Structure 1
Amino acid sequence: MFVTFFFGKNMRILIVEDDEILGEAISQRATKQGHGADLVTTGTKANEILKHQSYDLVILDLNLPGLNGDQVLEKLRSRHSKTPVLILTARDQIEDRIQLLDLGADDYLAKPFDFGELEARCRAILRRHQGQSLDTINYGNLELDRRACTVKIDAELVEMKQREFRLLEIFLSHTGRVLSKEELLDHLYGFDESPSPNAIETYVARLRKKLQSSSVDIRTLRGLGYLLDRENG
């Protein structure tokens, strides 16, 4: 399905795919890019997880054992969840597509599909969900390009490892909001990984060093978490 990984922002992703080989391939690509990815192979399991866990994006196949994809989507929206959902479907009738959108799908892609189109659709869904129209985020003298996976300070490239880049994305997507260690861990790791909260401290410390020449700062609020802010106001 995927030849390149298509997600721009750092995300917690739920992949619902009954083809285990395909699902594992998607999950591994997501993890290598620094995203938190969870994989389930039945609609029933997906529905149970979505009752208790929030995600930034759900990639949902329709032909699933247990509950089918339509039912998973319908139950998700009945709980008033606004989580973006991309449907992968072999159905090609216009009536089927209208039904999916009416059930609350954010977009759909018919199988077989072009990988480039899949990438573009997922980026577009996330931009719409975040109220953004571009793949770049500018904050102070800092620029982050989600598509190119680059960071610039005063137009100069700053080298960052994947986890550092993804952590910065999270902060830039939640400016003005205090983020706890637990929230950061949820975004960076899947439920099959068991990182220590100390891992966040390590990544924040590394990121601060990379941002020393920028006009932004990651503040520690004792007992609460971290806040990205512009220096001097």
Structure 2
Amino acid sequence: MRIVLVGPPGAGKGTQAALLAENLSIPHVSTGDLFRANISQGTELGRQAKAYMEAGNLVPDEVTVGMAWDRMGQPDAAGGFLLDGFPRNVAQAVALDGLLKEAGLELDAVLDLEVPEDEVVKRIAGRRICRNDSSHVFHVEYSPPEREGVCDVCGGELYQREDDNEDTVRRRLEVYHEETEPIIDYFKAQGLVTTISALGSVAEVTRRAMEALPGQRG
């Protein structure tokens, strides 16, 4: 099964992508992981991306598309894949469509995780991360530590990342609305999009997503 997962920052894409990929036994293809892997391995695309990033420039679509397509061509993706963070804009969506058609393939579904903007702000701005281990994550409202500002796991200091403040989150949402949200209409025209509420527990959202996939109901 070939799936694209779309949603604003704070919708829980990373969490849901990992769970869905595991349930479906397909690789989770994350843009962030692609960049890190290509740069650390010193691939030609990785070198190109690193040069743009070090110069403070956006990585061109063709480099991002090249990395994603190379990953989709790996043996473990022969039975499908779940794309998280790609395509990021309509140009990348068009490029993906073209490459799939050339290969005689097509997408099965596009899942659109929907969450109210105020909830996104609350989720991200309330996040607190341990300085000793960034995998220890708390939330001032949803999963507060036993002692304010102190990690339950190791006793480290909890802090709010600079880009997790409300102003930055709202700017990230604006970028999402301008750049990424239009791909939903693009894929809707192909009858591929199912919108899923990202409110509720992680398990509830996963269940909704699985039920929305072709052949997965019941």
Greater fraction strand: 1
Specify which structure has the bigger relative contact order, considering alpha-carbon pairs within 8 angstroms and separated by 6 or more residues: 2
Q: TM-score, normalised by structure 1?
A: 0.24
Q: TM-score, normalised by structure 2?
A: 0.25
